[in-house]
Amino acid sequence: MPDSRGWFAPALAAVLAITAARIALLAFNKTDLFVDEAQYWLWGQDLAFGYYSKPPMVGWVIRAFTEIGGDAPFWIRLPGPLFHGATALILGAVAARMVSRQAAVWVALGYLTLPMVAVASLLISTDTVMFPFLAAALLGYLRVLDRGEPWVALLTGVALGMAFLSKYAAVYYLICAGLAAVLVPSARPGWKAAGVFGLAFLVTVSPNAVWNLLNGLTTVQHTLDNADWVRDPGARAGLNLAGLAGFLASQFAVVGPVVFGAFLVAVSRWRRAGPGARLLLLFSLPILLIVCVQAVLNQAYANWAASAYLAGTVAAMALVLKRRGWLIASFGINGALCLLFPLAATAPEALTWRGQPLLERYIGRDEMSRAILDAAGAQGLATIVASDRDVLADLFYTGRERPMRIAAIPPRARAPHHYALNFPYIPGAEAFLLVLRASGTHPCPELAEPVGSIEPETGAYRRHPQALFIADPGCFAR
């Protein structure tokens, strides 16, 4: 086993310094909560074992932090830099066990400076909440392989279960562990340890499994919507080579060109790699390949393979450290981006391209919500009904202290989002303000009087103006 002593103190000092700087800059972040962030905040207002599209951990975490400091965006996003700092130290421990003491420090710093981590430290996401638990599961798995201790297997199962309660992508690690057991003889835990691990995992995730069964498998349905070719392969699946190429190209931006390039080099050296290097690749490459299949059959977003870059960063940095030029280039490029992103967020309207802010999807959301809330107040209306999920998400957050009822247009079939499922409009006796996309279809034009529109010249709604109507309570009666 590589020498693993003496790395923690310098790694901790570096991680604390970077995390403190990120928290300080987060206090000056001027971007609005993104639609997903606002939705996660709303979930935290009603604690449950599951939600429309995700498992519950992100809502629980946000609730814990907002109970301490309030509902300001700073407190909603504060878990980001803290959770990534914890993940960096756990990956340092993985590197100390698998590579060397020197590698442990560089892996911790390399992970913290990945572009995806720099961005995720400005926001709150399910990946962010999942990562420390997933990294802990990887570290525990390695220790189980080394010593086979039942109590470590128990904690490892709980850690993976907590990762699963954060994001269902954690299930990839079960696939990876199975492949590792088949392809790397030293990666086969004993039956007793495997049984303890499996039982601990199942017990940990059982509350969410029960919640899904009691709620019509809502999150399973949403997952199938994301990979919609599964529902009708003949009609929806195709050979999207451009989508695959775009996804793979995006990975150079997700973790940086040097780190992703080094990861691909490590993959190309599979036949010459030792058991440790193969094990790391087996906990990263299968995830990337699974998402590549999704990309070629339909589409895949750049962050869908993010969980591959826990073990993947360790594997890549092991090669980067052997070439001084690679090391300098990696930290030069990724370090510059780590400075650019938080600084840009302190003045999101200043960084422009072709006359529009590069961060325009993160600005103008609260402005739209305030305009809608003010319009309802001016008309003496106590209820706002909207069709757009983005509008609804921010209306709930921005209007949290206003005496307004926010509701979604009631769905005609399966609810398309959390708001339609949990906050559909229930007809009452009074008129309400109806908010529709200006380009959308009106559900009841004969029962609604137009009272204006909101057409921002910049920000998230620049291409999505909203039309306002005073609607009769019988609008959705049919």
DSSP per residue over 14-67, as a string?
Answer: HHHHHHHHHHHHHTT--PPPPHHHHHHHHHHTS--S--SSS-SHHHHHHHHHHH
The domain boundary, picked from 317, 346, 375, lies at 346
At residue 471, the 3 state secondary structure works out as strand
User: Does residue 285 share a domain with residue 172?
Assistant: yes
User: Does residue 317 share a domain with residue 228?
Assistant: yes
Contact at 8 Å (CB) between 468 and 452? yes
pLDDT at 225 (0 to 100): 59
User: CA nearest 158: which of 143, 176, 185, 140?
Assistant: 140
The overall average pLDDT reported for the chain is 91
User: Does residue 436 share a domain with residue 300?
Assistant: no
pLDDT at 235 (0 to 100): 53
Measured in whole angstroms, the distance separating CA 434 from the mean position of its chain's CA atoms is: 31
Contact at 8 Å (CB) between 31 and 359? yes
Instruction: Tell me the chain's radius of gyration from C-alpha atoms.
Output: 24
pLDDT at 157 (0 to 100): 97
User: Does residue 36 share a domain with residue 65?
Assistant: yes
User: Does residue 430 share a domain with residue 308?
Assistant: no
User: CA nearest 157: which of 196, 210, 129, 128?
Assistant: 196
CA 351 vs CA 105, 135, 345, 460: distances in Å: 33, 35, 9, 15
User: Does residue 309 share a domain with residue 375?
Assistant: no
Question: What range does the domain containing 173 cover?
Answer: 8-346
Q: Which residues pair with 408 in a beta bridge?
A: 386, 424
Residue 419 belongs to a domain: yes
pLDDT at 223 (0 to 100): 63
User: Does residue 195 share a domain with residue 46?
Assistant: yes
Instruction: Categorise residue 244: left if φ over 0, alpha if ψ from -120 to 50, beta otherwise.
Output: alpha
Residue 354 belongs to a domain: no
Here the tokens at position 20 are 């403190």
The count of structural domains within the chain is: 2
User: Does residue 324 share a domain with residue 369?
Assistant: no
Residue 3 belongs to a domain: no
Residue 233 belongs to a domain: yes
Residues of the chain with pLDDT under 70: 1-5, 220-238, 478
pLDDT at 222 (0 to 100): 60
Run of H or E residues at 405: strand 405-408
Quote the CA–CA distance of 127 and 351 in Å, as a whole number: 26
The domain boundary, picked from 346, 379, 399, lies at 346
pLDDT at 3 (0 to 100): 47
CA 341 vs CA 61, 99, 118, 255: distances in Å: 24, 31, 7, 14
Here the tokens at position 257 are 């060109």
pLDDT at 163 (0 to 100): 98
pLDDT at 229 (0 to 100): 47
Contact at 8 Å (CB) between 385 and 434? yes
Here the tokens at position 137 are 């599961």
Give the model confidence (pLDDT) of 351-379 as tens digits.
Answer: 888 788 889 999 999 999 999 999 999 99
